[in-house]
Amino acid sequence: MSAQYVRRTLPWFIGALGTALLVALLMLLWRGSAPWWLVDFSVYRFGAETIAGTGDLYLVTTPYTLLSFTYPPIAALMFLPFTLGSMTLAGFVWVAVDAVFLVGAIWLTLGAVGVRDRTHRAALTVPLALLAVLLVPVDYEFAFGQLNLMLMFLILLDLLKGDGRRWQGVAIGVAAGIKLIPLIYVVYLACTGRIRAAVTALGAFAATIVLAFVVLPAESVSYWFGPGLSVSRPGVPMGPLNQALRGVFARLLGTDEAVNPAWLVTAVVVGLAGVAAAIMLHRKGFALRGMLVCALTALLVSPVSWVPHWVWAVPLLIVRRPGVAAALGVVARGHGGDGGGVRSATDVLVPTGQGVHPGAVAGEPGHAPVAAVGRRDLRAAGDRARRDPDLAGAAAHVRTRRAGGVRAGR
């Protein structure tokens, strides 16, 4: 790693860390007195304390809340550093770490939709990270002390930055080692022609299992061949916080049975249809949307998908509803309203069902109409579209509007 790379990267890392600390402080002030504050983090910490002592990881429950550790043993190892210090301090540090993953996920998604300039992207990432805490899944993620933002970041990193690189698949494999559901992306990688990445992901997943067997043999046996993999272990499926299909059927049928036939059949059908749709989108050039469809499919077919698991709403909203990011981009870029130039990369480069953000076409206040895009901007859009097929539709739509003679103010 060169000194030049460190000098270039360090300011962005410090900015991400500062934003994460701000998010963590806001959550502490907002939710710190709630009775459910860091309930799930206390389970992760208790699991780490258990393996550091003499207890059975999958038979003990937390004091007071009586909750069980449900993840593979490698996850308990991951939380060993958080057993140091008080619960209050460790919990705040974890919320801050989780917020770093939120910032990273937003950064990666903005880059995927065409915001290439680092200064512009940073100026968008900070307010979007602060706004994201208003989403219920993100709010619950931080308040309960969950780890879904970390898993989402690993998957985004692998799928958005890994294509053509030898390491692609490693992050997905590690995510699957911590929580099994990301294994669906191994199928997605294989079926979209990225066989090497799929094999790498399986290898990384296997490595987490081997490492756990070496360090925690008894706990590994208990998880893989004992109560650890029980479908009923994560909690009561009828609970309203379970937004997976299993929860829907449990509430409709009024049953808490572990494996309901109606749910099982529906989950298989939805899983196959969802993965097929994701593969089709990828093959038609909409790789980003294909990835999001795969994520939503995983959430639906999982035995439980508590509200915090739906943090995928963050990249989904950036991709499908770019108006907020575009509006923030006007401020970030500091342009006036004279119609001279593109106000935000998302104005012309984020595909929606109609091609581009409607505000860019209609001439919303603060946005440059599509006709204001210059030839250099169109060439840049074309170059980006060739590199990222997900942008091709938007770039083509911009050219069409330009050729049609649309003018500012009409």
- Summarize pLDDT for 79-113 with one digit per residue, the tens: 999 999 999 999 999 999 999 999 999 999 999 99
CA distances in angstroms from 338 to 206, 365, 373, listed in the order given: 57, 10, 13
In this prediction, residue 383 has a pLDDT band, given cuts at 50, 70 and 90, of low
Q: At what angle do helices 184-191 and 170-178 cross, to 10 degrees?
A: 160
pLDDT digits (tens, 9 = 90+) for 178-194: 999 999 999 999 999 99
Q: Is the pLDDT of residue 405 over 70?
A: no
In this prediction, residue 359 has a pLDDT band, given cuts at 50, 70 and 90, of very low
Q: What confidence score (pLDDT) does residue 322 get?
A: 56
Q: What is the mean pLDDT of residues 243-256?
A: 89
In this prediction, residue 320 has a pLDDT band, given cuts at 50, 70 and 90, of confident
Q: Is the pLDDT of residue 116 over 80?
A: yes
In this prediction, residue 177 has a pLDDT band, given cuts at 50, 70 and 90, of very high
Collapsing DSSP to helix, strand or coil, 260 comes out as: coil
Question: Largest Cα–Cα distance of the chain, in whole Å?
Answer: 75
pLDDT digits (tens, 9 = 90+) for 215-243: 999 999 999 998 877 766 777 788 889 99
In this prediction, residue 321 has a pLDDT band, given cuts at 50, 70 and 90, of low
* Burial (CB count within 10 angstroms: exposed 0-12, middle 13-18, buried 19+), residue 63: exposed
Q: Is the pLDDT of residue 309 over 90?
A: yes
Task: Give the list of residues 6+ apart from residue 3 with CB closer than 8 angstroms, or none.
Answer: none
Higher pLDDT among residues 286 and 354, named by residue: 286
